Amino acid sequence: MSETSNGVRSTNGGPPVRVDGAAPVPESTLRSAVRAAAEVAELVRDPAIRRVRVSVADVRIEVEAAEGGRERVVTAEQASASVVLASVPGVPAQATGTAPSALSGAAVAAVPDATAVAAPVGTVPVTAPLMGVFYRRPGPDQPPFAEIGERVEAGDQVAIVEAMKMMNPVLADRGGIVRAVHVSDGEVVEYEQPLLSIEPG
Amino acid sequence: MVNRVLICNRGEIAVRIIRACRDLGLETVQVYSSADRDSLAVQLADQSVRIGPGSVARSYTNIPAILYAAAKSGADAVHPGCGFLSEDPVFAASCRGVGLTFVGPAAEHIALMGDKVAARAAMRAAGVPVLPGSDGTVDSLGDAVTVSDEIEFPLIIKSVAGGGGRGIAVVHRPEDLPLAYESTRAAARTLFADDRVYLERYLPAARHIEVQVLADGHGTVLHLGERDCSVQRRHQKLVEESPSPALDPRLRERLCAAAVAGARDIGYVSAGTFEFLVAPDGAAYFMEMNTRLQVEHPITEVRTGIDIVGWMIRIAAGERLDLSQSDVRFEGHSIEARINAEDVDRDWAGSTGRLYGLRMPAGPGVRVDSHLYDGYVVPPFYDSLLAKIVTYGATREEALRRLDRALAEYRSAGVTTNVDFHRRLLRHPGFRAGDYQLGVVESVLAESVLAESVPAEPTPGDDAHAEAPRGTHRKDGKSCLTSSPRGSTRKTSGGSSPTPSTSTWPRSPTTPTSSTTWRWTP
Write down the mean pLDDT value for chain B: 86
Instruction: Give the confidence band of B421 by pLDDT, cuts at 50, 70, 90.
Output: very high
| B309 sits in which H/E element | helix B308-316
Our CA-based measurement puts residue B41 at a distance from the nearest CA of chain A, in whole angstroms, of: 13
Highest-pLDDT range among A45-54, B234-243, B310-319, B480-489: B310-319
List all residues 6 or more positions away from B487 whose beta carbon is below 8 Å from its beta carbon.
none
Q: Is the pLDDT of residue B358 over 60?
A: yes
Q: With pLDDT > 70 as the criterion, what percentage of chain B qualifies?
A: 85
Q: Is A191 on the interface with B (CB under 8 A)?
A: yes
Q: Is the pLDDT of residue B9 over 60?
A: yes
* pLDDT tens for each residue of B181-225: 999 999 999 888 889 999 999 987 899 999 999 999 999 999 999
Of A37-41, B247-251, B254-258, the least confident: A37-41
Q: Tell me what pLDDT residue B438 has.
A: 87
* A105:B37 CB<8 A: no
Our CA-based measurement puts residue A27 at a distance from the nearest CA of chain B, in whole angstroms, of: 31
B468 against A160, higher pLDDT: A160
Query: How far apart (Å, rounded) are the C-alpha atoms in residues A180 and A148?
Result: 6
Indicate which of A96, A187, A191 best probes the interface with B, i.e. most B CBs within 10 Å of its own CB.
Answer: A191
* pLDDT tens for each residue of B61-98: 999 999 999 999 999 999 999 999 999 999 999 999 99
Our CA-based measurement puts residue B370 at a distance from the nearest CA of chain A, in whole angstroms, of: 19
Q: Tell me what pLDDT residue B217 has.
A: 97
Task: Say if pTM beats, i.e. exceeds, 0.90.
Answer: no
List all residues 6 or more positions away from B331 whose beta carbon is below 8 Å from its beta carbon.
B303, B304, B305
Indicate which of A40, A101, A133, A190 best probes the interface with B, i.e. most B CBs within 10 Å of its own CB.
Answer: A190
CA-based end-to-end distance of chain B = 49
Q: Is the pLDDT of residue A183 over 90?
A: yes
**Amino acid identity for residue B215 in this structure:** A
Q: What mean pLDDT do residues A115-127 have?
A: 84
Of A4-8, A165-169, B262-266, B300-304, the least confident: A4-8
Of A167-176, B129-138, B327-336, B491-500, the least confident: B491-500
DSSP-assigned letter for residue A93: -
Q: Is A45 on the interface with B (CB under 8 A)?
A: yes
Using a CB-CB cut-off of 8 Å, the residues of chain A touching B353 are 105
CA-based end-to-end distance of chain A = 32
User: Is-contact B344 B241, C-beta < 8 A?
Assistant: no
* A110:B38 CB<8 A: yes
Instruction: Give the confidence band of B165 by pLDDT, cuts at 50, 70, 90.
Output: low
Instruction: Give the confidence band of A195 by pLDDT, cuts at 50, 70, 90.
Output: very high
* pLDDT tens for each residue of B145-161: 999 999 989 999 998 87
Q: Tell me what pLDDT residue B509 has.
A: 35
Instruction: Give the confidence band of B448 by pLDDT, cuts at 50, 70, 90.
Output: confident
Instruction: Give the confidence band of A71 by pLDDT, cuts at 50, 70, 90.
Output: very low
Using only C-alpha atoms, chain A has a radius of gyration, in whole angstroms, of 19
DSSP for B77-109, please give it: EEE--SSTTTT-HHHHHHHHHTTPEESSS-HHH
Of A117-121, B52-56, B322-326, B452-456, the least confident: B452-456
Q: What mean pLDDT do residues B508-520 have?
A: 32
The contact set of B with A (CB < 8 A) is: 33-35, 37-38, 42-43, 48-54, 58-59, 62, 64-65, 68-69, 71-72, 353-354, 356, 375, 377, 379, 522
* B69:A113 CB<8 A: no
Q: Tell me what pLDDT residue B466 has.
A: 40
The catalytic site residues of B sit at: 292
Find the length of chain A. 201
Q: Is the pLDDT of residue B21 over 80?
A: yes
Our CA-based measurement puts residue B245 at a distance from the nearest CA of chain A, in whole angstroms, of: 43
Q: What mean pLDDT do residues A86-107 have?
A: 33
Of the candidates B72, B353, B375, which has its C-beta nearest A46's C-beta?
A: B375
Q: Tell me what pLDDT residue A18 has.
A: 40
Using only C-alpha atoms, chain B has a radius of gyration, in whole angstroms, of 22
Q: Tell me what pLDDT residue B172 has.
A: 94
Write down the mean pLDDT value for chain A: 66
Q: Tell me what pLDDT residue B262 has.
A: 96
Query: How far apart (Å, rounded) are the C-alpha atoms in residues A137 and A159?
Result: 6
Q: What mean pLDDT do residues B314-340 have?
A: 97
**Nearest chain B residue (CA) to A95:** B522
Using a CB-CB cut-off of 8 Å, the residues of chain B touching A132 are 64-65, 68
Q: Is the pLDDT of residue B162 over 80?
A: no
Q: Tell me what pLDDT residue A33 has.
A: 67
* pLDDT tens for each residue of A43-62: 555 555 555 565 555 445 55
* A191:B377 CB<8 A: no
DSSP for B23-59, please give it: HHT-EEEEEEEGGGTT-HHHHHSSEEEEEE-SSGGGT
List all residues 6 or more positions away from A18 whose beta carbon is below 8 Å from its beta carbon.
A7, A8
Q: What mean pLDDT do residues B487-516 have?
A: 35
Instruction: Give the confidence band of B235 by pLDDT, cuts at 50, 70, 90.
Output: confident
Of the candidates B38, B52, B354, which has its C-beta nearest A131's C-beta?
A: B52
Q: With pLDDT > 70 as the criterion, what percentage of chain A qualifies?
A: 42
